Amino acid sequence: MPRIAVDAMGGDFAPEEIVRGVAQASLESDIQMVLVGASDKIQALLDAGPYNPELISVRHCSAAIGMAEDPREGLRAKRDASIAVAARMVAAGEADAMVSAGNTGACVLAAAKHFRLIRGVKKAALASVFPRQTEYPGQDTFGLLLDVGATIRCDAIELTQFAVMGSAYARRVSKVASPRVGLLNMGSEESKGGEVLVEAHRRMKSLPSVNFVGNVEGNDVATGKADVIVAEGLLGNVVLKLIEGIGEVATTVATHAAQDNWRWRLGMAMLSTGISRMRELGDFRTYGGAPILGFESLCIKAHGRSTAPAIKNAIKVAAKGVRDRISPEIAETLAQIR
């Protein structure tokens, strides 16, 4: 049985939705969970609804790092912060993986501080899922993008390792046997993008274990051309937030427009089932979270706005990652290409 440490105090709706998600998971699975945070609050929230006490324990700690807090300062000042305690539990073998919906920077830094990098890995990467079109039957409706902010700039070897890590993760978690991996670039030709990207392209192409489909451009991101898209953190971060931002702006503009015009209002109403189906397709809650890859231990970062179902799914993803031995598989693949 995998044991998952859950940061009860991290997230826009913590601790309420985190505890509720854990309670739900305890009724639907056999995953062992440790809620890390203010034990009084946690116990009161647990007692408010049904849960399986055999699968849930609580580890008290007194502090938490806020969503807008400076991650480095926060971790330095609050040794007893829930996210740091959860990471230390995993590092000490008291849990097999961790889940947090809290401050992303603090999550990455806590993992970096307490987890060991897989042998040979130069940098860890934060992945994220994003909704996109599908191109073939059975293709996942989400793509995986990494890195989205654990790094800033990367060299060719680091990018190549991201390709290996993202491919291993997508193969296990999304059940696509041979996920297509693309390198985000400013042109499709292998000569594009400058020295680092040309070299990364060459290295990825030579990997027997990776189904490399070449460079993907900005207009390929939403099409399903690649299942795993590799980029340095600065680029991946801007792309991920742009996708989220365009969705929000489109919703705002459409809603405002509809208020002024009865035909549009009626049209939006007729489309409402379609719109909610699209929203559902693009809803990060169905995915739960995305991993920080490259460490020996797994950390699943759930979205800050996660409610109980997202937390429940993030816990399941973490347990699956442990059962499917994602980190050991990454280690083995990297050892082969060295």
Contact residues toward a copy of itself (CB under 8 A) are 132-133, 149, 152-153, 184-186, 193-194, 197, 217-223, 233-235, 237-246, 248-250, 252-254, 257-258, 261, 263-264, 266-271, 273-274, 277-278
For residue 155, the minimal CB distance to a copy of itself (Å) is 13
For residue 283, the minimal CB distance to a copy of itself (Å) is 15
Distance CA(248)–CA(250), nearest Å, equals 5
Backbone angles phi, psi at 229, to 5 degrees: -115, 125
**Nearer to a copy of itself by C-beta: 41 or 265?**
265
Distance CA(46)–CA(19), nearest Å, equals 7
For residue 274, the minimal CB distance to a copy of itself (Å) is 5
3-class secondary-structure state, position 127: strand
**Nearer to a copy of itself by C-beta: 48 or 266?**
266
Q: Show Cβ contacts of residue 109 under 8 Å, excluding neighbours closer than 6 positions.
A: 71, 72, 75
Beta-bridged to residue 57, according to DSSP, are: 34
Distance CA(235)–CA(131), nearest Å, equals 18
For residue 144, the minimal CB distance to a copy of itself (Å) is 16
CA–centroid distance for 85 within its chain: 20
**Nearer to a copy of itself by C-beta: 277 or 323?**
277
For residue 309, the minimal CB distance to a copy of itself (Å) is 24
Give the Å distances, CA to CA, from 89 to 21, 111, 143, 239.
Answer: 20, 11, 31, 33
**Nearer to a copy of itself by C-beta: 269 or 335?**
269
**Nearer to a copy of itself by C-beta: 91 or 228?**
228
Element (H, E) at 131: strand 125-131
CB 170 within 8 A of CB 179: yes
**Nearer to a copy of itself by C-beta: 1 or 253?**
253
| Widest distance between CA atoms in the chain | 64
The residue with tokens 């309420």 is 16
For residue 270, the minimal CB distance to a copy of itself (Å) is 3
* Residues written for the chain: 338
For residue 234, the minimal CB distance to a copy of itself (Å) is 5
